[in-house]
Amino acid sequence: MILLKLIRESFLFAYDALRQNKLRTMLSLLGVTIGIFTIIAVSSAVDTLRNNLQKSVDKLGSNSIYVQKWPWVGEDNFPWWKYMQRPVPKLRDFEQLSRRSQTAKALSYEISIDNRTVKYESHTVDGAQIDAVSHDHDKTWNFNFQDGRYFTDIESRTGAPVTIIGADIAEALFPGGTGVGKQIKIMGRKVTIIGVFTKEGKDMLGITSDNEILLPLNFAKNVIDIENEKYNPQIVVRGKDNLSDVEVESEVRGLMRSIRSIRPGGEDNFSLNKSTILTNQLDQLFGIINKGGFIIGFFSVLVGGFGIANIMFVSVKERTNIIGIQKSLGAKNYFILLQFLIEAVALCLMGGLIGLFIVYLGTFAVKAVADIQVVLDAGNVIYGIGISVTIGVLSGIIPAYFASKLDPVEAIRTN
């Protein structure tokens, strides 16, 4: 009960200091507020980016390997001239991998044709992304349908004139209605729509099916050269669920070297990309951003801490005679010390809570402007409160110690 009364009195003293010296106290709290805001805002931004990145990685598949000509991440002194001479993945590579792989759950051969115009009656869509894929594409990528279905095995093998379109294309070509069963013209050929992807929106990596038109690979094979480099051919290998990406990558590398007759010690003429390459690179970037935000916030909080310490020294000076009366009535040194220490913590908590409140309001602003759900979890809130309490203890301990050591007789005489 004594401790609770002490805490109550200390908060009342803090409130009284804030009320009587509004400008002085608010200027001192400003440093703490800015510091907590910076640290928590940066942490929340990094958490939000990481969360969105994870959604992108989930689409790519955590144990999927992408056999491509170019690596996703460049090294120092990037030897682009070597990569220029590499062959693109061929159908023969895909067929051999499909026949020989023991770790693959599914494989697909895929090409991309950018920025095509699609029409239906008076409606037109520019910049559509046309992809042609082998049958097991639905097993190597994660997607859902809002209407219709995926290709049947017969449609994929025979190259039937069928297609699946993204939600944005469906809305533009068939406003207010469904596109399933309708015919559109693609690459000079009429194709029938059999499905519409669920609307996704763009993720952090720019991956979305909203503007995609998906065709069977064997249909595209009759229209264009699907092994041409300008269509960015790739082989996607989805590993079995009980295997790690490292195990799948190791087998695919060995098989590709064998298929392309690369001698022992010879350099690979292909790249094996996977989602962890991106996450590792971005984790390093997030780490740097986190450190930068913490350093900026730390110095702001430090300045605020000096301001709080200054307030506490002034407060001790103004209440010296009250301290003397308290000690003469039997108040222990620790009582006086805790009184001023809790007051310093209370002031810092005010600044910290203001900073957290600003971050909280910022989450709504970002959601309204950019339609991004900012992650502000309990961990970040506890982190901010913990820093506020720590700064309060550090900035208040010395003034509180001096107050506790005052001689009661000398303190009472002080005006």
Question: What is the rounded CA–CA span in Å between residue 393 and residue 343?
Answer: 10
Nearest CA-CA partner of 305 in 390, 400, 402, 403 = 390
pLDDT tens readout for residues 8-28:
776 676 677 667 777 777 777
Q: Which of 65-79, 238-252, 388-402 has the lowest mean pLDDT?
A: 65-79
Which residues neighbour 296 within 8 Å (Cβ) at sequence distance 6 or greater?
Answer: 38
- CA atoms in the 13 A half-sphere facing the CB of 199: 7
Question: What is the rounded CA–CA span in Å between residue 305 and residue 137?
Answer: 58
Question: For position 342, what pLDDT does the model report?
Answer: 80
**Is residue 110's pLDDT more than 90?**
yes
Question: For position 19, what pLDDT does the model report?
Answer: 72
**Is residue 214's pLDDT more than 70?**
yes
- Report the alpha-carbon angle 143-144-147, nearest 5: 140
Name the pTM for this structure: 0.69
**Is residue 331's pLDDT more than 80?**
no
- 71-76: long-range pairs with CB below 8 Å, 24+: 71/271, 71/273, 71/277, 72/271, 72/273, 72/277, 72/278, 73/277, 73/278, 73/281
Question: What is the rounded CA–CA span in Å between residue 313 and residue 53?
Answer: 48
**Is residue 107's pLDDT more than 90?**
yes
Q: Please, which pLDDT band fits residue 79 given cuts at 50, 70 and 90?
A: confident
pLDDT tens readout for residues 152-183:
999 999 999 999 999 889 988 888 777 888 99
Q: Which pair of structure tokens corresponds to residue 136?
A: 């097991």
Give me the mean pLDDT over the 324-351 stretch: 80
Give me the mean pLDDT over the 212-233 stretch: 92
Q: How would you write the chain as a 3-class SS string?
A: CHHHHHHHHHHHHHHHHHHHCHHHHHHHHHHHHHHHHHHHHHHHHHHHHHHHHHHHHHHHCCCEEEEECCCCCCCCCCCHHHHHCCCCCCHHHHHHHHHHCCCEEEEEEEEEEEEEEEEECCEEEEEEEEEEECCCHHHHCCCCEEEECCCCHHHHHHCCCEEEECHHHHHHHCCCCCCCCCEEEECCEEEEEEEEECCCCCCCCCCCCCCEEEEEHHHHHCCCCCCCHHHCCEEEEEECCCCCHHHHHHHHHHHHHHHCCCCCCCCCCCEEECHHHHHHHHHHHHHHHHHHHHHHHHHHHHHHHHHHHHHHHHHHHHCHHHHHHHHHCCCCHHHHHHHHHHHHHHHHHHHHHHHHHHHHHHHHHHHHHHCCCCCCCHHHHHHHHHHHHHHHHHHHHHHHHHHHCCCHHHHHHCC
Mean pLDDT over each residue of the chain, to the nearest integer: 83
pLDDT tens readout for residues 82-93:
788 889 999 999
Contact call for residues 311 and 28 (beta carbons, < 8 A) = yes
